[in-house]
Amino acid sequence: MELLTCTPGYIASALIIPLVVATCYEVFSRYLFGNPTIWAYEFGYLLMGFHFLLGGALTLKKQSHIRIDIFYNKMKKRTKSIVDLILYFFLIIPCLSVLSLRLLEHTQNSFLSGETTGQSAWNPLIWPMHFIIFISFFILFLQVVVECLKAIISIKENKEKI
């Protein structure tokens, strides 16, 4: 599972390079040569979307998502694991399951219809973006399953003595 959650993070990090190159090219092309591109704006926001979405599973793995810690930090490790398991199992997994399935359907519909972005003169097909969104949420779903397993192990290891 280490490879599964790190690879999207590395891909997200690597996407910064073409994003910076495209943005710099657009600025030079527009202001130095007076010849703006038809693709750089759309390419930039698509890459930013990929970058943002692919970081979700890695952020969860590293426990870097924002929490309201008023009560959580005062709990024992076993209680934290129980709270995590309940929230993951009854809230996050059902939501991500439905969302992933709907995103897959939406991707298939975009592919079959030949849908385009409609945002610029470049106007590329949108299904690759929809597919990346689906994959990103599915990877996040898999990471939540891993977090559930970690919580179950933690609950078993930290049984409080009565």
**What pLDDT, in 10s, does the model give residues 79-96?**
999 999 999 999 999 999
**What pLDDT, in 10s, does the model give residues 98-137?**
999 999 999 999 999 999 988 878 888 999 989 988 988 8
Nearest to 134 by CA among 36, 49, 43, 40: 49
- Asked if residue 70 is part of any domain, the answer here is yes
To which H or E segment does residue 148 belong?
helix 127-157
- Asked if residue 42 is part of any domain, the answer here is yes
- Asked if residue 162 is part of any domain, the answer here is no
Specify the 3-state DSSP secondary structure of 125: strand
Q: Which domain holds residue 80?
A: 2-157
Q: Grade residue 162 by pLDDT with cuts at 50, 70 and 90.
A: very low
Q: How many domains does the chain have?
A: 1
Specify the 3-state DSSP secondary structure of 35: coil
Measured between its terminal Cα atoms, the distance across the chain in Å is 35
- Asked if residue 37 is part of any domain, the answer here is yes
Q: Which CA distances in Å does 73 have to 62, 79, 139?
A: 17, 10, 27
Instruction: At 146, list the tokens.
Output: 């891993």
Indicate whether this model's pTM tops 0.85: no
